[in-house]
Amino acid sequence: MGLYFANAVDDLVGDALAGFAFAHADTVTWDERDGYLRTKRTSPSRRVGLVSGGGSGHEPLHIGYVGAGMLDAACPGRVFASPHNRQILAASRAVAGPEGVLHLVKNYTGDRINFGIAAERLAHEDIACARVLIDDDVATDSEDAATGRRGTGAAVLVEKVLGAAADTGMGLADLAEYGTELAARCRSIAVASAAHTSPATGRPAFELPSGVLEYGVGIHGERARRTLPERPLRALAEEMVGALADALDVGSRSRLVVLVNGLGGTTRMELYAALREVVGLLDKRGAATVRTLVGDFVTALDMRGFSLTLMDADDTLLRYYDAPAAAPGWCAADPVPAGEPR
């Protein structure tokens, strides 16, 4: 518990974005006036610009995935808040290709509304626009959830694979269709033992009794519908893998990309231990873990927890996943199939 290192809480996002752009000046440009980052390098064969965005506090999502082979632009909002439609419109104008622009949108009300308004304004300017909705969180896969599954860890995988597909010269309609297919191939679940620290108060966003875990927590600090007694990692991983495997119908012929993602306050040591358990559990089901990502990819400030994402893969998807990318937050530019030596 404690205050953030900042000149002022209201200045933190802007100061961080300026610093990010300085640190990665070879890769991105920060348009401070219009509020978006864009890549300095993109494939000459790309005919469609890729734009995503969302609230700050989830770094490296989405700003870290702007670069060659991934996003053309990202629009960061304030902490846990949607970017404004003006940001999205300006970014889309700036990076639209000959066939227009594709919006990659996580399934949250604010994001859907603001990307939708920007798309309407683009249509008035005769700039073609389509949307891929990312909705992978099984914790809200319920008729009781007003908006349905939230968009979480799958955003990273979809942005990587779709970026490589865009570099082949794929058109807008085909990219939108493929992106929708990719989103359907992903499911995620997150757990936490402690909430993130509120930048405004310096206190936890919610209190958990000792000895329990939030099972199905959201990346904006949304409380889970379930709490579980603390348990060994293997038992926790078994419940998480079971939920995702059922949702994706994982079987003996499945090939999976596995993302073990820290929510900001969990050590790499714990994340790698979680991966060990997940791979073992998938192996027992006869499924092959063909690629792995471990680290902080979609955070929730300093939340003490992690998420697990499974993506059902085929040869085409893996070829796109393995394609080179030069974005600050992407650390798998030289991938090796899981379990194979270099």
pLDDT greater than 80 at residue 300: yes
pLDDT one-digit tens code per residue, 91-133: 999 999 999 999 999 999 999 999 999 999 999 999 999 999 9
In the chain, domain spans: 9-184, 186-322
For 321, residues 6+ apart whose C-beta sits below 8 A from its C-beta are 157, 160, 161, 164, 257, 291, 313, 335
**Catalytic annotation on 58?**
yes
Residues 258, 310: contact at Cβ < 8 Å?
A: yes
pLDDT one-digit tens code per residue, 127-178: 999 999 999 999 999 877 677 999 999 999 999 999 999 999 999 999 999 9
Catalytic residue among 24, 62, 103, 220: 220
Lowest mean pLDDT among 52-66, 138-152, 180-194, 247-261: 138-152
And the tokens for 53? 């965005």
pLDDT of residue 108: 97
pLDDT greater than 60 at residue 341: no
Choose which CATH entry (3.90.1150.10, 3.30.1180.20, 3.30.499.10, 3.40.50.410) describes domain 186-322. Answer: 3.30.1180.20
One-letter amino acid at 255 equals R
Choose which CATH entry (1.20.58.100, 3.90.45.10, 3.30.420.40, 3.40.50.10440) describes domain 9-184. Answer: 3.40.50.10440
pLDDT of residue 340: 54
Which percentage of the chain shows pLDDT scores above 70? 96
Residues 159, 52: contact at Cβ < 8 Å?
A: yes
pLDDT of residue 147: 79
Catalytic residue among 58, 84, 103, 196: 58
